[in-house]
Amino acid sequence: MQDDSKSITPDRTISPPSVLGEGLTFASVTDKISTIALSKRTPLWWFVGAGVSFSLAMLLFYTIGYLVLTGIGIWGNNIPVGWAWDIINFVWWIGIGHAGTLISAILLLLRQQWRTSINRFAEAMTLFAVASAGLFPLLHTGRPWLAYWMFPVPNTMGLWPQFRSPLIWDVFAISTYASISALFWFVGLIPDLATLRDKSKNQAAKIVYGMLAMGWRGSARHWHRYETTTLLLAGIATPLVISVHTIVSFDFAVGVIPGWHATIFPPYFVAGAIYAGFAMVLLLAIPLRKLYGLEDYITMRHIRNMSKIMLATGLIVAYGYMMETFTAWYSSNTYEEFMIKNRFFGPYAAQYWTLIFCNVVAPQLLWLKRVRHSIAAVFVVSLIVSVGMWLERFIIIVVSLQRDFLPSSWGMYQATKWDWSMFLGTIGLFLSLMFLFVRFLPMISIFEIRGILPQAEVKESEG
Amino acid sequence: MGELVQLRRIAKPSFEDGGQAPLDPQSSIPDPRTPNPDPQSSTLDPRSSILNPQSSILNPPSSILDPQPASRIAAISARLEAKRGKHYWRSLEELADSEEFQEVLHREFPENATEWNDPAGRRKFLKLMGASLALAGFAACTRQPAEQILPYVRQPEEIVPGRPLFFATAMPLAGYAIGLLAESHEGRPTKIEGNKDHPASLGATDVYSQASVLGLYDPDRSQSLTNLGEISTWSAFLGAIRPQVEAQRALASQPSPASQPLAGGGGLRILTETVTSPTLEYQIKTLLATIPTAKWHQYDPAGRDNVREGAKLAFGQYANTVYHFDKADVVLSLDSDFLASGPGSVRYARDFANKRRLSEEKHEMNRLYVVESCVTSTGSIADHRLPVRASEVEGVAREIFGKLGTGQPGASNKPEGEKWAEAIANDLDKHRGSSIVVAGDSQPANVHSIAHVMNGALGNIGKTVIYTDPVEANPVDGNSSLRELANDMEAGKVDLLLIVGGNPVYDAHADLDFGERIRKVKLRIHLSLYNDETSELCQWHVPEAHYLESWSDARAFDGTVSIIQPLIAPLYSGKTAHEVLAAFMNEPERASYDIVRDYWMKRYAAGGQPPPIKAQAATAQKTASGSGSSAQPATSGQAPQSATGGFEAFWRKSLHDGVVGKTAAPIKPFAPTGILNSRSAFSTPLPDLTQFTQPPPSKPGLEIVFRADPTVFDGRFANNGWLQELPKPLSKLTWDNAAIISPATASRLGVGKDVNGLATNKIGNIGGDIIADEVELEYQGRKVRAPVYILPGQPDDSVTVHLGYGRTKAGRVGNDAGFNAYAIRTSDAPWFGSGLQITKTGTTYTLAATQIHHAIDTEDLKARDIVRSGSLAELKKNPTLAPEHTREEHGAGSLFPKWEYKDYAWGMSIDMSSCIGCSACVVACQAENNIPVVGKEQVARSREMHWLRIDSYYKGSENNPETYFQPVLCQQCEDAPCELVCPVAATVHSSEGLNDMVYNRCVGTRYCSNNCPYKVRRFNFLLYQDFYTASLKMMRNPDVSVRSRGVMEKCTYCVQRIQKAKIESQKEDRQVRDGEIATACEAACPTQAIVFGNINDPASRVSKLKKEERNYSLLGELNTKPRTTYLGVVRNPNPELEHA
């Protein structure tokens, strides 16, 4: 870390808005962040927010219970639309989960110091989003109690998964991604957990944090191993950022359905995922910094940087839409042409044009400095993008399946209340975990912030 | 089916040589003729008694039960024990009503069975199992009189568990029989096949016979005899009716005093449906002879009154018409749906398709002209179809007749009519003696008469059209017969009304007010399968035995008699019509087996002639004085073999073959007076067509047309889930009927959705739902609310409504489905009439359809090459029928070497030219493969489970489009997109090219279905199978797994049949022969449009068909290499009308 800051020094002095606020000291940083987790006083808004989230999470558990007892017929899926909100939500959540790893791993490797303030909770967000996402492929199967068959479990019948299926690739990609993300997140927490252990006055908290800190004492050896581990994990996680959503996109690209069967899908999906991920980080960061008074830590520079990434990935996504349409025209393939026409003018045209507005038109506002500088505007744009990315998956999945090859089999799709409860429930689960996280763990990496304080730099140069 | 033939050949000699009976009858069929008051005959659980009627001797209930656990079964048994002697239960139901017994019945496992892991518990479980079997099978406590039925094919001694037997029987529908083979698994009929030897079947079936298995096991069937709604017994019933019948008899035998006005018929009335059964005829006529004042009424709501009256008009007497479509080059249908409805339709479809089919040797087709007032299957495959209103058909007929050179004035008021008439007349004229004019059942007698005269004029009579004496026992005009009964009821002349089958309270004409008038009859008795609307208004309801439970006989469309033999003892102690009539003749103990067999014995003795009808007064006196139980006839089943040796052979052969030899009605030289020799000259003056009343002038305004429903018929199948969920041939609606109108009429009425000035059905949001506008149909002062369905090809200003819906007491399946069209159907216009008023109600109604897009020649879809079609002339120019733009199949473009199928390579060919969309294959598939019914709400969500569907597509103008039927089942792609994406290898390719589905391995990701371009995979979104209803468990095909929820399923080319044939062939060390395997759909197909076989064998039928140039793969350019391929549709339009 210390090495990183050296190289970044010239940049920081040039760039006018700093990564951190003025006048922070080692002690104030530690106090500020650790107090949030250790404080006995929980703010009222936390109870309100957590209460709503927990209720939604309960709705999720109720839905899951009913779903497993009754069958996925409680959703609106049918033939031809065999996948609908289940897979839409899955892809949406997985997409959101992308930003965390991207920030932690890729930006770490690229030595982007500004990532430090946001990487911790972005990583947490990743984990929770992946947890929400993971529910869907499991529960969308007709017989979820047998879903373990998708893992290569040695068995007496000698049955093995069918490795040509992208769903099997998914299983591996997502489980790997989830493990690496969890590991990365937890390893990154260890020094801060030790800080919490040390600062905690409560005996129970001391024990819990102590156990989680795994005997961290901050020795040079510890730090050395920590650095090595982090770099290794970052190295492993970096290709995963690309691979997970690439493989998710294979679920569609490998299919023969017009609207799915496209070579552009992998990059287009990855860009979409980063796009959605940053939108979600912004959606979380903006209220958090306000509520906890973390303006010094998550500064305007963070918000502006993330806006720029959103703008860039948004443009890639827009390019994807354009190329889909172009390819349909250029291929002269009846089915492809019809697929695009059906998107443009079919029964779900309203959803398609909303998607275009959300993902292509609205983010263009971010070109304007004034918009990038307005917290409220960025928040609204992020919200729109999140909706747009959900709609994108709706268009890809439902609208492609709805009218494929034989007109005799065309059908319509409408979500039921259970689709809603499942989706809202996972939002509840996600937010519940987020609320628990911000309450009991340091949402900003204390030691890394300390590392990029000007004081640390001085110390470093002296050394 | 090929297998059956072959097996029959083996089985036949064994008894024709006078050898052993092929089957010990005791072991296959339990005793349906045991006297009923004795409860042992009623089979609670037919399985046990079928498996072995002796089972309870082996396991007498008292000995097997361990008294120690004090099980409930023991308690019941003890109670039974105590009640031995003269204290019989009055009915099994009485016994069954007890709590303990109910619990025994409904527990999934016998009590304590859950302890079966424990060795001691397991032993107890086995004991209990034995006990419950024994309990259910008390049947064996009585002596079992021998009733022999003969298996169709198999060796006698062996019933090999797991191997089905086939028995010939016949299903009567509205009186007429279709000969069938019923597949019996250990005594449970599970599947119906056609009988190759039966003239109405030739091995094929229709939807009704396929679905009749479900009818048999329907848990909603009437299960007990009731009196005023209370469960009663057969003996109570006998006791109650005897004095009444005796009173009638006494009244009749008295010289009628002047004060007793008997002219209008006496107090006893029998109302039946159309009767062709010789035995029932003999019984009823004997009864009528015994009680001369009694009267016999016949009524069928979808009967053939017009056909009968038309013949009478033409010939002066009733006659039966039989068509030979296999000899007809030109067919003109005057509103007749002869391919898909009516007594001979299965046979007619076969004959018609054979004449139409193109092959390497045969390059000629027949030509079909259809003038019709509804959209029917027949019209859909016509070469020329003219939609006119029902009242205009007669005009068109007259005009064509006029153009034939008769000088009769034309009366068509259609502009295209004249050109049509001219062209048809020319064509008919060119094919004298090889053409047919056929009039529809719903057209009035006049039109039938014109058709007869035209057939006469064209010299078709004796060649393509033959006449025989009527097949019906007593041909009457059912319409007036019912009206007479209704009037007599109103006048209080009816004391005792016996309704044998039918449901007149529901389906009688609205103006007869049958439901009100029937209350004026003193004693009303209803024999029917269901406790229905009519039963509700009758004091006595007698549950009827299903035809698969009955001994009876019936005649086919050409008069051929089949003996109906039961496959199973009555599940709910049902009675046949014969038994009920015997009760009226003081023979209450006679089982229908004896009745039918005695009749045929008499007839055999009389050299095949029906025995003379004699009044039974003497017998009646004797038995009336004696006790009922002594009425056992002398000629019961135990007649000495020596006396009946010749008869025995005849009887066995008749049962075995499913047809009684030489019973087809002989040809009668009926001819309408006057034969046309040439177009302009007559040898004798033509019958003055003015003798037929002039057609009623076509009134402006809306016309209403009533038709029997293509799936639930006249309402009798309303509680049959398979038929309710079977999509109607064109609209693809399920679970509902609708007011069907044309797009133009819809526009005018402002219903439906307007798309570019064209009214179409408004598609809903959830899958297969149609949001239909509701209207109020007002006809002759009666009103009914109906949803509107817009159907291209429907004549303008004509509304077709199908009968059979809106039942209130059909059962759980049929209640409240659709609207009741009978409510506005009157006896003066039973089939159509004008003066219909339509009012929009402003409300909407959700219809569930399995297909909501039918058009294929829109800009977007033209290039998809889904249906290849063309005229015969086009076929000569372009033998592949492929559209110009067709992409060359890039079949070779694979990086992998082609897999070699060494042994068998199964494939299928479907000739779309032959497909008439009758849907027999769909129901056959459902029955064979244990496919569940999902209900209207699920169909609306587009989750129907049919493995085989028939897509219908329109091409051309919405007023009269060309229609194509395309049966789509799993295409068994060689490069299957589904297999690639399954994560658990639940769908895999077999070495014979089948795309196998491993249900047990499926976890239900639905990825395979998404990736299937044909969308033939079906997913159990919820638990659709009924695992709990006991009777339905008996129905299932044991060779096919029953899928639970969360599992994907699809067609496997009936892999169970393939495996069976392969095992047989391996035993004989040979290859499976071509035709030895018939998939369920292939076997059922009346037109033989579906052919299955080994494509590795170049001599197989399927290989030859696939070599035809018009063979093509559906969506072939996707490179899925389907094993199912299609033959393009060829139509044979008249060049004269080509550019019309």
Please give the average per-residue pLDDT across B390-416, as a whole number. 71
Which chain A residue shows the shortest CA-CA distance from B1006? A82
Shortest CB distance from B1115 goes to which of A81, A162, A405? A405
As a whole number, the mean pLDDT across chain A is: 88
Q: How confident is the model at residue B79 (pLDDT cuts 50, 70, 90)?
A: low
CA separation, residue B333 to residues B371, B381, B439, B755, B871 (Å) = 6, 12, 6, 33, 20
Nearest CA to A392 out of A421, A356, A366 is that of A356
Annotate B610-678 with DSSP letters as a single string.
PPPP---HHHHHHHHHS-GGGG--TTSTT--HHHHHHHHHHHHHHHHHSS-TT-SPPEE----S--B-S
pLDDT recorded at residue B247: 84
Nearest CA to B1134 out of B586, B117, B383 is that of B383
**Closest CA relative to residue A120, chosen from A184, A180, A178, A175:** A184
Query: Using a CB-CB distance cutoff of 8 angstroms, which residues of chain B are in contact with residue A78?
Result: 766-768, 941-943, 1021
pLDDT of B686 over the 80 cut: no
User: A270 Cβ partners below 8 Å, 6+ apart?
Assistant: A98, A241, A242, A245, A246, A249
Q: pLDDT tens digit string along A350-390?
A: 999 999 999 999 999 999 999 998 999 999 999 999 999 99
Which pLDDT belongs to residue B74?
Answer: 62
Compute φ and ψ for B1127, nearest 5 degrees: -105, 130
Burial category of A221 from C-beta neighbours within 10 Å (exposed 0-12, middle 13-18, buried 19 and up): exposed
Average pLDDT on B122-145 reads: 54
Confidence class for position B718, pLDDT limits 50, 70, 90: very high
Q: How far apart are CA A463 and CA B616, in angstroms?
A: 129
> Is B855's Cβ below 8 Å from some Cβ in A?
yes
**What is the model's pLDDT at position A380?**
95
How far is Cα B1140 from Cα B1136, in angstroms, rounded to an integer?
A: 8
Residue B1140 has pLDDT above 50, yes or no: no
pLDDT of residue B1089: 94
Does the pLDDT at position B80 exceed 70? no
Residue B83's pLDDT band (cuts 50, 70, 90) = low
Neighbours of B255 (CB within 10 A): 5
Pairing of strands B832-849, B995-997: unpaired
**Residues forming beta bridges with residue B769, ordered by sequence position:** B848
Handedness of CA B1033, B1037, B1038, B1043 (dihedral sign): negative
d(CA A186, CA B100): 62
Chain A residues closer than 8 Å to B1048 by CB: 142
B859 in contact with A at a CB cutoff of 8 Å? no
Across the range B751-780, mean pLDDT stands at 90
B793/B800 Cα distance (integer angstroms): 12
For B923, residues 6+ apart whose C-beta sits below 8 A from its C-beta are: B207, B210, B211, B722, B723, B726, B1084
pLDDT band at B123; cut points 50, 70, 90: low
Q: What are phi and psi of B677, to 5 degrees?
A: -90, -50
CB pairs under 8 A between A and B: 192
Pairing, β B906-911 against β B1124-1127: parallel
Q: What is the mean pLDDT of residues B307-318?
A: 87
Position B149 confidence tier, pLDDT thresholds 50, 70, 90: low
Q: Are B504 and B489 in contact (CB under 8 A)?
A: no
> Among A51-65, A321-335, B252-266, which range has the highest average pLDDT?
A51-65
Q: Among A71-75, A402-406, B642-646, which stretch is predicted with the lowest mean pLDDT?
A: B642-646
The angle, 0 to 180 degrees and rounded to 10, between the axes of the packed helices B278-290 and B577-584 is 20
Residues in contact with A71: Cβ distance below 8 Å, sequence separation at least 6, in sequence order = A142, B1020, B1021, B1022, B1023, B1045, B1046
Q: Which of A251, A337, A410 sits opposite B852 (nearest CB)?
A: A410
Q: Tell me, what amino acid is at B79?
A: R
d(CA B602, CA B611): 6
pLDDT for A430 beyond 70: yes
B214/B133: higher pLDDT: B214
Mean pLDDT of chain B: 81
Candidates B765, B1011, B1014; nearest CB to A255: B1011
What are A312-324's pLDDT values in tens digits?
Answer: 999 999 999 999 9
Contact between B548 and B29 under an 8 Å Cβ cutoff? The reply is no
For residue B26, is pLDDT > 80?
Answer: no
Q: Tell me the pLDDT tens digit for each residue of B899-917.
A: 889 889 999 999 999 999 9
Which pLDDT belongs to residue B311? Answer: 87
Name the CA radius of gyration of chain B, rounded.
30
Q: Which of B1044, B1036, B1045 is nearest to B929 (CA)?
A: B1036
User: Up-side HSE of residue A446: CA atoms within 13 Å toward CB?
Assistant: 23
Contacts of A315 (CB under 8 A, 6+ apart): none
Task: Spell out which residues of chain A touch residue B983, defining contact as CB-CB under 8 Å.
Answer: 150, 161-162, 165, 167-168, 171
Q: Which helix (H) or strand (E) holds B839?
A: strand B832-849
DSSP letter assigned to residue B544: B
Q: B1003 vs A254: CB contact, 8 Å cut-off?
A: no
Preferred mutation among A136, A256, A342 to probe B, highest tally of B CBs within 10 A: A256
CA distance A234 to chain B (A): 30
pLDDT score at B186: 80
DSSP β-bridge partners for residue B268:
B496
Is A70 within 8 Å of B861 when comparing Cβ atoms?
A: no
B513-525 residue pLDDT tens: 899 999 988 889 9
Residue-wise pLDDT for A125-155, tens only, equals 999 999 999 999 999 999 999 988 989 888 8
The reported pLDDT for the residue numbered B665 is 85
Of B764, B766, B856, the CB nearest to A76: B766
- Cα–Cα distance measured from residue A226 to residue A242, given in angstroms and rounded to the nearest whole number: 25
The pLDDT tens digits of the residues spanning B254-272 come to 655 544 444 445 688 999 9
For residues B766 and B940, is the Cβ–Cβ distance under 8 A?
yes
Q: What is the pLDDT of residue B64?
A: 38
Contact indicator for B543, B221 with CB cutoff of 8 Å: yes
Q: How far apart are CA B150 and CA B27, in angstroms?
A: 11
Query: How confident is the model over B449-473, as pLDDT tens digits?
Result: 888 888 888 888 888 999 999 999 8
B981:A166 CB<8 A:
yes
B1042: Cβ contacts below 8 Å, ≥ 6 apart: B930, B1025, B1027, B1036
Query: Are B1017 and A167 inside 8 Å of each other by CB?
Result: no
Q: Are strands B295-298 and B268-272 parallel, antiparallel or unpaired?
A: parallel
Residue A13, classified by CB atoms within 10 Å of its CB into exposed (0-12), middle (13-18) or buried (19+), is exposed
Each residue's pLDDT tens digit, B931-963:
999 999 999 999 999 999 999 999 888 888 999
A302 has pLDDT over 60: yes
pLDDT tops 50 at residue A78: yes
Q: Which of chain B's residues have a Cβ under 8 Å away from the Cβ of A255?
A: 977, 981, 1007, 1010-1011
pLDDT band at A37 (very low <50, low <70, confident <90, very high): confident
Pick A218 or B617 by higher pLDDT. Answer: A218
What DSSP state is assigned to residue A398? I
**B770 touches A: beta carbon within 8 Å:** no
- Of the listed ranges A214-228, B472-486, B683-697, the one predicted with least confidence: B683-697
Helix (H) or strand (E) holding A239: helix A220-253
B939: closest chain A residue by CA: A78
The per-type count for chain A, helices as H runs and strands as E runs, is 20, 0
| Count of CB atoms situated within 10 Å of the CB of A290 | 12
- Exposure string (b/e) for B1104-1119, b if CB count within 10 Å is 16 or more? bbbebebbbbbbbbbb
**Torsional sign, CA A224, A230, A235, A236:** positive
Query: Which pLDDT band holds residue B1136 (cuts at 50, 70, 90)?
Result: confident
B1118 interfacial to chain A (CB closer than 8 Å): yes
From the list A74, A165, A410, the residue facing B980 with the nearest CB is A165
Contact A19, A117 (CB under 8 A): yes
Most B CBs within 10 Å, among A248, A406, A412, to test the B interface = A406
State percent of chain B over pLDDT 90.
48
Check residue B19 and give its pLDDT.
Answer: 34
A-proximal residues of B, 954-983, CB under 8 Å: 966, 968, 977, 980-983
Q: Are the Cβ atoms of A407 and B854 closer than 8 angstroms?
A: yes
Question: Which residue in chain B has the smallest CA separation from A401?
Answer: B1010
Tell me, what's the pLDDT at B685? 40
pLDDT of residue A33 exceeding 90:
no
What ipTM is given for this predicted complex? 0.91
Mean pLDDT within B398-426: 71
Higher pLDDT, B156 or B595: B595
Question: Could you tell me if B1079 lies within 8 Å of chain A, comparing CB atoms?
Answer: no
Non-local (6+) Cβ contacts of B115 within 8 A are B121, B122, B124, B125
